[in-house]
Structure 1
Amino acid sequence: MNDRPITILCLAGYVKGTRFLTAAKDLGATVLLLTKEKLAAEEWPRESIDELLLMPDIHKRPDIIHAVSYLARGRQIDAIVPLDDYEVETAAMLREHLRLPGLGETAARYFRDKLAMRTQARAAGIPVPAFSPTFSYERLAEFMERTPPPWVLKPRSEAGAMGIKKLHTPGEVWDWLGRLGDEQSFFHLEQFIPGDIYHVDSLVYDGQVLYAQPHKYARPPMTVAHDGGVFVSRTLPDGEEARAILELNERLLTAFGLERGATHAEFIRGRDGQFYFLEVAARVGGANIEDLVAAAGGLNLWEEWARMEIAHAQGQPYTVAPTRHAYAGILVCLARQEWPNTWGYDDPEVVYRVDKKHHAGLVVASADAGRVEWLLDSYARRFADDFLAVLPALDKPE
């Protein structure tokens, strides 16, 4: 057991994971934050950051390796933690270089590269939509011949629904590949499966899923991202849907070899009744999902992740115990107003309000799952009238 102060290097390309930073500092860790120069003036919890380190680009090799290796000359770094999707592979590469525990480069691909995810899941017997790489044109043509459209052309390493194209004919596919040029190998094609989409948000320690909360989206995230609308999700009561995705989630995380951390996995139930794996990330879900989990379970995923990193570095056991057993739901949308006023939504079940420029959002919680669902339906209609703004979907992050 090691009782010396633990040093954690956090990587952030966006302002995320601030609760991880504050929790790690509160637990006695030395917290280093490496981020982009253009984010230097953002509202980081500076009282919880021992050193704020800046680079023009935190993904560029070999610059990032040289910078962190230089940093390590005067500091014993115990853990490297990515605070958003785009730093997962960078963190893995740095762990490999510094020989630190945690996801290495090969395993990190299972949580970033959608083609690697599907290949590994299929090898483990987990159902996935039919898919094809874009490397071989002959293989791709055979896939389109035997797999009914529509299809989706997906970037292998973007986050969420970013950059996804829904296509209906082989001609559209070949046209898009032509536009992509040398970038086309960074995409894959898969069958579009309509259906209900679910997510499971988990905590894993020593390779075991210690906590997992199942949820169901009201509308598919890809539809919200491309067509606009209110993002809505809710916790699922115990039943066939919840049990099915929790079982798939455990099989998935075991097959992918995650030792510890927070995860966000998504599944779809097709019209055939089958549940399929869609994607998984080795980080806390976006769109304020940590607040949804906290409202239902009484624990914050970022804070728990900080606890487990410190426990692991000190050779101590880690346990997690939810303090609440409620149902919760979340609504978030882009807002026309710079700072939308949600105080007209004043039911006692409202437990959290999103405080972000040009975003409206609420979390509701109740012991009654039906009450949560009713509030979400009612509020979503009102949000569309009161706040909703629609912007074109991005192909790449800004």
Structure 2
Amino acid sequence: MNQPTLLVLASYFKGEAFLEAAKEAGAYVIFITNEKLANKPWPHHAIDEFHLMPDIHKQPDITYAVAYLMRHHQIERIVPLDDFDVELAADLREHFRLNGLGCSQARYFRDKLAERILAREHGFFVPRFTPVFNDAAVQAFIEEVPPPWMLKPRSSAAAIGIRKIESPEQLWFALEDLGDERSFFLLEEFLHGDVHHVDALTADGNILFAKASRYGRPPFEVAHFGGVSTTTTLPDDHPDAQALLEWNRRWIAATQLRNGVTHTEFLKRRDDGNFYFIETAARVGGAHIVELLEAATNFNPWREWARLEVALARGEPYTLPALRNDHAALVICLARQQHPDLSAYNAPEVVWRAKEEYHAGVILASSDYERICRLRDEYADGFARDFLAVAPPPEKPTA
């Protein structure tokens, strides 16, 4: 069996399970990260070459560095561990003519404006939106669409940098404040509804795994106003799950994605009941969604993505692990205590506890969906009482 070489990029500390699974599958793993992350607890036993750069996103430095590595290695696959590395990996693939997402296709997983235009072209419900390049176009939009509006970075992640705008005066001030960064934003109508996510793995154009889940409070609300965050996997036969999986299938087809993991969010609008496309990413879902999915299904997105990449490098078919069909819920919040005491939250359904300082979190798993939902609500109320702390949202991502 040949040993394929994977180049893995990371500008944030994450994806340890990917590195370990890639090594277990027999890959030669070359890893490049930023110098400031050098002392993070990376799984060095699973990394064959560990390289540091001041900034992996600085061009042409990163291209020169990879070109030097290519002199002595036949790199088959380039893998970005974080959302902010997707475009970098695409650019490197284009330069070295390697398979995988190229620059134009990567925009459908990084650029919210490109995503919305594609979604609208393919018959998805989308919030009404406009680019903010042109003053007249912006004025026409705000005359047609009543406030509030959402001013969003086109290529950020999660709820970082999003502003809720209540009036035309606030909007024009915000656009002026953006200066030369203005064209990197879009404006869209604010919709009320429940936010859902579909986490999936696609191989050779076929969706082999997909699971629909529902957030409690929308991520924007939790990020900007605080509170306990929850997300719960939906039973596969739930009408909302079936609708979400079909919308996800249509999205994967629209983007023509051949291989990889995706995390795609939809909002079920309260006043019409339709699912609206919100955003997507060619990455593993964050905020402990990995542990949630593994608890419910035995599918770990990091590990299976690694196994897929190694199989692709070898030209072999990828096969799923044995799956189960349980239910799981995540309950998590910022905590006032450095090491919150979770001993009172001891139901037998608790299968995971958060280890990060100043965080309280558990995952509940069971074959009984109603039991999971009851425990989730009970624990969310308890966390709000016993642990909850609120911090201002970051304007920019931090490693």
TM-score, normalised on structure 1? 0.98
SS at match of 1:203: strand
Paired with 1:352 and 1:270, the residues of 2 have a C-alpha distance of 32
Structure 1 residue 321, shift from structure 2 partner:
4.4
Name the structure 1 match of 2:62.
Answer: 64
Name the structure 2 match of 1:11.
Answer: 9
Name the structure 1 match of 2:275.
Answer: 275
Structure 1 residue 212, shift from structure 2 partner:
0.4
Q: Matches of residues 99-178 of structure 1 in structure 2 within 5 Å?
A: 99-178=97-176
Paired with 1:9 and 1:371, the residues of 2 have a C-alpha distance of 43
Paired with 1:283 and 1:374, the residues of 2 have a C-alpha distance of 31
1:101-149 alpha-carbon deviations (Å, 9 max, x no partner): 1000111111011111101111111111100001111111111111121
Q: Matches of residues 242-391 of structure 1 in structure 2 within 5 Å?
A: 242-271=241-270, 272-391=272-391
SS at match of 2:23: helix
1:165-221 alpha-carbon deviations (Å, 9 max, x no partner): 111211111110000011000000000001011000001111111110000001100
Structure 1 residue 317, shift from structure 2 partner:
0.9
Paired with 2:358 and 2:260, the residues of 1 have a C-alpha distance of 31
Structure 1 residue 357, shift from structure 2 partner:
2.2
TM-score, normalised on structure 2? 0.97
Paired with 2:296 and 2:259, the residues of 1 have a C-alpha distance of 22
Paired with 2:52 and 2:148, the residues of 1 have a C-alpha distance of 44
The one-letter code of the counterpart of 2:220 is M
The one-letter code of the counterpart of 2:297 is G
Question: Does 358-367 or 224-233 show the bigger shift?
Answer: 358-367
The one-letter code of the counterpart of 2:241 is A
Structure 1 residue 319, shift from structure 2 partner:
2.2
Paired with 1:226 and 1:322, the residues of 2 have a C-alpha distance of 39
Which of 21, 28, 32 lines up with 1:23 in the alignment?
21
Structure 1 residue 155, shift from structure 2 partner:
0.4
1:282-315 alpha-carbon deviations (Å, 9 max, x no partner): 0110001011100111121111101111111111
1:88 aligns with 2:82: no
The one-letter code of the counterpart of 2:142 is M
SS at match of 2:75: coil
Paired with 1:33 and 1:329, the residues of 2 have a C-alpha distance of 33
SS at match of 1:110: helix
Paired with 1:174 and 1:52, the residues of 2 have a C-alpha distance of 47
Name the structure 1 match of 2:231.
Answer: 233
Structure 1 residue 36, shift from structure 2 partner:
0.6
Paired with 1:49 and 1:359, the residues of 2 have a C-alpha distance of 29
Paired with 2:211 and 2:117, the residues of 1 have a C-alpha distance of 25
Paired with 1:338 and 1:260, the residues of 2 have a C-alpha distance of 40
Paired with 1:126 and 1:376, the residues of 2 have a C-alpha distance of 31
Structure 1 residue 325, shift from structure 2 partner:
0.8
Question: Does 175-184 or 355-364 show the bigger shift?
Answer: 355-364
Structure 1 residue 231, shift from structure 2 partner:
1.2
Name the structure 2 match of 1:219.
Answer: 217
Paired with 1:21 and 1:185, the residues of 2 have a C-alpha distance of 36
The one-letter code of the counterpart of 1:19 is A
Paired with 1:247 and 1:386, the residues of 2 have a C-alpha distance of 40
Paired with 2:42 and 2:386, the residues of 1 have a C-alpha distance of 30
Structure 1 residue 322, shift from structure 2 partner:
4.3
The one-letter code of the counterpart of 1:37 is E
Question: Does 338-347 or 289-298 show the bigger shift?
Answer: 338-347
The one-letter code of the counterpart of 1:62 is P
Paired with 1:5 and 1:383, the residues of 2 have a C-alpha distance of 47
Paired with 2:256 and 2:342, the residues of 1 have a C-alpha distance of 42
Paired with 1:141 and 1:125, the residues of 2 have a C-alpha distance of 26
Paired with 1:227 and 1:322, the residues of 2 have a C-alpha distance of 40
The one-letter code of the counterpart of 2:163 is K
Paired with 1:239 and 1:66, the residues of 2 have a C-alpha distance of 50
The one-letter code of the counterpart of 1:73 is R
Q: Matches of residues 32-47 of structure 1 in structure 2 within 5 Å?
A: 32-47=30-45
Name the structure 1 match of 2:178.
Answer: 180
Question: Does 154-163 or 320-329 show the bigger shift?
Answer: 320-329
Contiguous gaps of at least 5 residues in structure 2: none
Paired with 2:338 and 2:81, the residues of 1 have a C-alpha distance of 26
Paired with 2:246 and 2:308, the residues of 1 have a C-alpha distance of 23
Paired with 1:26 and 1:336, the residues of 2 have a C-alpha distance of 39
Structure 1 residue 338, shift from structure 2 partner:
2.2
Paired with 2:202 and 2:343, the residues of 1 have a C-alpha distance of 37
User: What CA RMSD, in Å, does the superposition of the two structures yield over aligned residues?
Assistant: 1.0
Alignment length, in residue pairs? 396
1:11-69 alpha-carbon deviations (Å, 9 max, x no partner): 11111110000000111111111111011001111111111110111111111111111
1:344-368 alpha-carbon deviations (Å, 9 max, x no partner): 2111101111222222211111111
Structure 1 residue 335, shift from structure 2 partner:
1.8
